[in-house]
Amino acid sequence: MLEKAKSILKKYYGYDKFRPGQEQIIADLLGGKDTLAIMPTGAGKSLCFQLPAMLLPGVTLVISPLISLMKDQVDGLANQGIPATFINSSLTNAEVRERLYQVRAGQYKLVYVAPERLETDSFQAALSELTISMLAVDEAHCVSQWGHDFRPSYQSIRPFIDRLPKRPVISAFTATATLEVKDDIINLLLLSKPGIHVTGFDRPNLSFSVLRGEDKQKFVLNYLTEKSRQPGIIYAATRKEVDGLYQLLKKKGFAVGHYHAGLSDEQRIREQEQFLYDDIRVMVATNAFGMGIDKSNVRYVIHYNMPKNMEAYYQEAGRSGRDGEPGECILLFGQQDIMLQKFLIDKSVEDPARKQHELRKLQAMVDYCHTPECLRGYILSYFGENIVSECGNCGNCDQEGEQVDVTLDAQKALSCVYRMKERFGLVLVAEVLKGSKNKKVMQLGFDSLPTYGLFAERKLQDIKTLLQRLVATGFLSLTESEYPVLKLTPQAIPVLRNQTTVHQKVVQAPKREADNTLFESLRQLRKALAERDRVPPYVVFADSTLKEMCQYCPQNEADLRKIKGVGDMKLERYGKEFIAAIRQGSSTGPSALHP
């Protein structure tokens, strides 16, 4: 079966070999084994259920959370010659009946549905006549109440499985899952002795940066001017923030769209499709945008505000560089972001246990924004992987110069927390170190402490940043409460006793890259062909495929077939146009292709 799978991989997807982890997952599914796969965005998790569906009898039912996600994936599969369809609320009743008839007639191997569809009696009755070989649950973290995108409708999946005449193979896929969420997925979907595959959370092609104290609007304007030809996403925390930034960028002449739940369905669909088709380069959005975006050539993701937790951040940032090419992930942190996210949590979460859970996750996100250590290492450690001490591809590691000894500053800050009996929050500790004459500081007599005014010459915000860095690096901790209190950790004691030192780095802005002339020419051709075929440009070819064409300059169809991502159907459909463009744009002549 695996040999047949490899043949399909080449014929329909245009690749000679599987990506790391894919072969083992596919082997388990073809062997009839329930499977949980945790794979980072861009690792090819969709292929892991799409390809087995081609070899298994009957149909594979794919549970997908968003209508736009279904449409993107089905469009991409159709373009590759793979029989797939979707059934969702965007269709009329007549269209639903017609598609179900076609499914029963064996015209499709993959059927995408939303979890809400599983609760309808008519859909359940229609499926009783089908042979369902596999049920694939995409974005499976939505099943867990501790998942960052908890969807109550996902809880209907297990009862639906129980009502099927014959239990199919169950597969679950997600990009971000802590150990707690992983266990929830297994238990709530009742996976039977599942094969568990964690291919790793690392995305080596992505660079990570956190910039603090920036003029956010000025940074975005300068950055987009540099990246004017490259598609990217800017995430903001609120609709108001999205609308304001969108209007500013539009006024400045950028090809920009916006997306949030306050817009009409028609407007969201229109602007999303403009982004997919490269008619607009920049999308400013809330986190309502993105899960349904299968656009492979997003080159950067900017977070205008800090997200509420690491899972949401990594999933959103991971929409950059899905094609394996370099992508930038930049987080613009402002102190007010913390209060905003606390407000949103308080407004949206009623259960006390879940609220405390969300606040704990928020603190981990704040720590990420202040750690002076490797950002990639922090992310991997959060998800339970081995810590990377220095990745060489993040804002903290890339900074030139040596680490600065901040032991004395750390001792002053830690001593202040100790002398305040570890009973107060970060703001009041900072005010004491600043030497503030704040009414509360004076009433509590903190102006008589030896640590009062030790940082009198510094800005209050700089003192808060120092304290937050000490939290992020484990010298201080914050209690999990509505009003968090600073506490010393065991790690702080050797610092106070002069038994160890503390070093920190200063973060610099990320590096920039220039475009390639031939690559730009091929990208324009791709857009023209995409408009002709009425599909998004990345469905024609991914950026990584175009860049490999630029590298090897294939001069005939045989050479072009050796390029990753060029399958039989795409060679027939687009081969001649791309070969002509490469011949015209390259002056080096034919190059020896890799085997």
The 3-state secondary structure of 528-554 reads HHHHHHCCCHHHHCCHHHHHHHHHHCC
Query: What sign results for the dihedral spanned by CA atoms 73, 75, 78, 80?
Result: negative
Q: How far apart are CA 316 and CA 309, in angstroms?
A: 11
Kindly tell me the burial class for residue 188, based on how many C-beta atoms sit within 10 Å of its own C-beta (0-12, 13-18, 19 or more): middle
Q: Is 569 left (phi over 0), alpha (psi -120 to 50) or beta?
A: alpha
Pair 55, 280: CB distance under 8 Å: no
Pair 136, 28: CB distance under 8 Å: no
* Residues ≥6 apart with Cβ < 8 Å to 267: none
Reply yes or no on whether the pLDDT at 515 is more than 50.
no
CB atoms within 10 A of CB 162: 9
Tokens of 103: 């499914």
Average pLDDT over residues 256-284: 91
Which residue in the block uniquely carries the two structure tokens 């997003």?
298
* Residues ≥6 apart with Cβ < 8 Å to 223: 300, 302, 330
* Residues ≥6 apart with Cβ < 8 Å to 221: 248, 249, 252
The whole-number pLDDT of residue 82 equals 93
The whole-number pLDDT of residue 514 equals 40
476-512 pLDDT per residue, tens: 999 877 788 999 999 999 999 999 999 876 544 444 4
The whole-number pLDDT of residue 529 equals 94
The CA distances from residue 144 to 139, 154, 385, in Å, are 11, 9, 21
Please name which of 153, 154, 103, 159 lies closest in space to residue 133, comparing C-alpha atoms: 103
425-481 pLDDT per residue, tens: 999 999 999 999 999 999 999 999 999 999 999 989 889 989 999 999 899 999 877
Please give the torsion angle defined by the CA atoms of residues 233, 238, 239 and 243, in that order, rounded to the nearest 10 degrees: -60
Tokens of 485: 């209190």
Name which residue leads in pLDDT, 164 or 293.
Answer: 164
Reply yes or no on whether the pLDDT at 595 is more than 60.
no
The whole-number pLDDT of residue 402 equals 63
How far apart, in Å, do the first and last CA atoms of the chain sit?
25
Q: 332 phi and psi, to 5 degrees?
A: -95, 105
Reply yes or no on whether the pLDDT at 292 is more than 60.
no
Q: Which fold has domain 206-383?
A: Rossmann fold (3.40.50)
Q: How far apart are CA 203 and CA 392, in angstroms?
A: 13
Q: How far apart are CA 545 and CA 560, in angstroms?
A: 10
535-545 pLDDT per residue, tens: 999 899 998 89
* Residues ≥6 apart with Cβ < 8 Å to 499: none
Q: How far apart are CA 380 and CA 376, in angstroms?
A: 6
152: pLDDT confidence band, cut at 50, 70 and 90?
Answer: confident
* Residues ≥6 apart with Cβ < 8 Å to 400: 508
Strand ranges in 545-588 using DSSP code E only, listed in sequence order: none
> Percentage of residues in the chain with pLDDT exceeding 70?
94
The whole-number pLDDT of residue 62 equals 95
Inter-residue long-range contacts of 443-446, CB under 8 Å, 24+ positions, other chains counted: 446/420
Which CATH class, in words, describes the domain spanning 517-587? mainly alpha
CB atoms within 10 A of CB 408: 11
Please name which of 302, 255, 299 lies closest in space to residue 544, comparing C-alpha atoms: 299
CB atoms within 10 A of CB 192: 11
**In what helix (H) or strand (E) does residue 461 lie, and over which residues does it extend?**
helix 460-472
Residue 321: half-sphere exposure toward Cβ, Cα within 13 Å:
21
Q: How far apart are CA 330 and CA 394, in angstroms?
A: 10
CATH 3.40.50.300 fits 1-198, yes or no: yes
* Residues ≥6 apart with Cβ < 8 Å to 536: 72, 75, 273, 276, 277, 278, 295, 530
Pair 450, 489: CB distance under 8 Å: no
One-character DSSP codes across 60-106: EEEE-S-HHHHHHHHHHHHHTT--EEEESTTS-HHHHHHHHHHHHTT
The whole-number pLDDT of residue 510 equals 44
Pair 503, 404: CB distance under 8 Å: yes
400: pLDDT confidence band, cut at 50, 70 and 90?
Answer: low
Pair 507, 399: CB distance under 8 Å: yes
* Residues ≥6 apart with Cβ < 8 Å to 528: none
Architecture of domain 403-505: Orthogonal Bundle (1.10)
CA angle (395 as vertex; 393, 398 as ends), nearest 5: 60
The whole-number pLDDT of residue 401 equals 55
Q: How far apart are CA 478 and CA 484, in angstroms?
A: 5
Write down the mean pLDDT value for the chain. 88
Q: How far apart are CA 178 and CA 250, in angstroms?
A: 39
The whole-number pLDDT of residue 448 equals 96
| Fold matches, 1-198 and 206-383 | yes
Rounded (10°) angle between helices 265-276 and 67-79: 40
The whole-number pLDDT of residue 89 equals 84
* Residues ≥6 apart with Cβ < 8 Å to 67: 86, 88, 89, 90, 114, 292
Please name which of 246, 316, 254, 243 lies closest in space to residue 279, comparing C-alpha atoms: 254
The whole-number pLDDT of residue 428 equals 96
Query: Which range, of 366-370, 375-379, 382-386, averages the lowest pLDDT?
Result: 382-386
Please name which of 147, 145, 143 lies closest in space to residue 118, comparing C-alpha atoms: 143
Average pLDDT over residues 12-20: 90
Name which residue leads in pLDDT, 482 or 306.
Answer: 306
Per-domain residue ranges of the chain: 1-198, 206-383, 403-505, 517-587
81-140 pLDDT per residue, tens: 999 999 988 888 899 889 988 988 889 999 999 898 888 887 888 787 788 999 999 989
Reply yes or no on whether the pLDDT at 327 is more than 50.
yes
The whole-number pLDDT of residue 133 equals 94
Reply yes or no on whether the pLDDT at 44 is more than 70.
yes
Reply yes or no on whether the pLDDT at 561 is more than 80.
yes
Q: Which residues of 465-490 are buried (b: 16+ CB within 10 A; e: fewer)?
A: bbbbbbbbbebbbbeeeeebbbebee
Reply yes or no on whether the pLDDT at 290 is more than 70.
no
Name which residue leads in pLDDT, 557 or 327.
Answer: 327
Q: 212 phi and psi, to 5 degrees?
A: -110, 145
The whole-number pLDDT of residue 593 equals 47
